[in-house]
Structure 1
Amino acid sequence: MNFSIQPVLEHENVILYPLQKDDFEAVHLAASNPEIWEQHPNKNRWQKEVFKNFFEGAIQSNGAFKVVDKTSNKVIGSTRFYDYNEAENSILIGYTFYDKAYWGKGVNHAVKSMMLDYIFQFVASVDFHIGAENIRSQVSINRLGVTKIGELEVTYFGEEPKMNFVYRLSNEDWLAFQAKN
């Protein structure tokens, strides 16, 4: 891999910074509302002890970000690139969550668009694992022109396997989607 999966990415409203170990408290604060996790595969991630495992997996991925509101400089969530596959020229985006106060405000679309614009300079396709029960994320990801390609049990870092839907977006489909929108 001859590119970074942890660059600083900036949009007019949010900025993605590489996640650092000393970001734990601020990121956990953004994650501490149980409603955020009610449709996610691990519904207890709002709890500090459970979140520590999630955070450690994010740090070890070397592709995780903290999402920061540029107006307030507040950490409002996290997302990551992970599992680059050189043979398939693909990567995954996921493990995304946002403070509930930022739902429905275009943050996820902005973040995913920045990430896709960046990573499609280097890969041919991006996959997303979305929990089978996570209807909010399924609806949101479909707004980006993805295609559901299957179902897969995914073992999250330090957790039991959970059923996920797998979505794919090719570079060509992303460019076509952007041209239409």
Structure 2
Amino acid sequence: MAMDRQPVLEDDRVLLRPLAEADREALYAIASDLMVWEQHPIHDRWRREVFDAFFDDGLSSGGALAVIRKGDGEREDRIVGSTRYDAYDEEEGGSVEIGWTYLERAQWGKGINPAMKRLMLAHAFASVARVDFRVGDTNWRSRYALEAIGAERGPRYELERYQGKRVVHLVYELTREAFEQGPLTGD
């Protein structure tokens, strides 16, 4: 059974839904904060033309999701970031990649990232045995966040070039079994 890479997922704090063209301006407002990208290998996604290409790629990927922080009576629901399922492979029990995640700084450390990863991982593990995450080797914020949800750095890595500079992406992995015994299942 093929995995639905654009589901609607939600809990009491967050709603993930398929990315739409109508989300472009709200997400650009978030992405235009230079600090969102400061540790990322593609550090200039705050530039309009770079962001638009990134957003367009997300729309065409078939796996991009908008991240909505749900209101609490005093605040309304609002978009606070984006994430994506990618690189789905049915072979050998199946795998999918989760990544391309960015959140507005006001959400950092507030539990939104673990909440959305819990939803995404539970959905993915209904169809696959392993989830991969690619992260820039100098993106310590993302690396620590992955380790906090139980992902482990695997032996694989990828080399690319961006603006003439070498970019190293480390590949972190999380298996269905590790997820079921990991930190996200107890919350």
User: Residue 123 of structure 2: SS of its match in structure 1?
Assistant: helix
- The number of residues matched between the two structures is 179
Matched to 2:44, the amino acid is N
Q: Tell whether 2:126 aligns with 1:116.
A: no
Structure 1 runs not aligned, ≥5 long: none
Give the CA deviation at 1:46.
1.1
| TM-score of the aligned structures, taking structure 2 as reference length | 0.89
Deviations 1:139-159 (A, max 9, x none): 010011111113222579xx9
> In the alignment, which of 104, 111, 115 is matched to residue 109 of structure 2?
104
User: Residue 36 of structure 2: SS of its match in structure 1?
Assistant: helix
2:158 equivalent in structure 1: 152
CA contact (8 A) 1:127 1:167 kept: yes
User: Residue 164 of structure 1: SS of its match in structure 2?
Assistant: strand
Distance, in Å, in 1 between the alignment partners of 2:137 and 2:113 is 19
Structure 2 runs not aligned, ≥5 long: none
Deviations 1:113-136 (A, max 9, x none): 100011100000000001111000
Distance, in Å, in 2 between the alignment partners of 1:173 and 1:109 is 15
Identity %: 39
1:36 equivalent in structure 2: 36
1:87 equivalent in structure 2: 91
Distance, in Å, in 2 between the alignment partners of 1:44 and 1:68 is 24
Moved beyond 4 Å, runs of 4+: 178-181
> In the alignment, which of 127, 134, 137 is matched to residue 142 of structure 2?
137
CA contact (8 A) 2:136 2:168 kept: yes
Distance, in Å, in 2 between the alignment partners of 1:111 and 1:180 is 15
CA contact (8 A) 2:2 2:90 kept: no
Which stretch of structure 1 is more off in the superposition, 64-73 or 118-127? Answer: 64-73
For 1:36-75, list aligned pairs within 5 A: 36-71=36-71, 72-75=76-79
1:172 equivalent in structure 2: 177
CA contact (8 A) 1:30 1:75 kept: no
Distance, in Å, in 2 between the alignment partners of 1:171 and 1:155 is 32
1:9 equivalent in structure 2: 9
Q: Tell whether 2:33 aligns with 1:27.
A: no
> In the alignment, which of 109, 127, 131 is matched to residue 132 of structure 2?
127
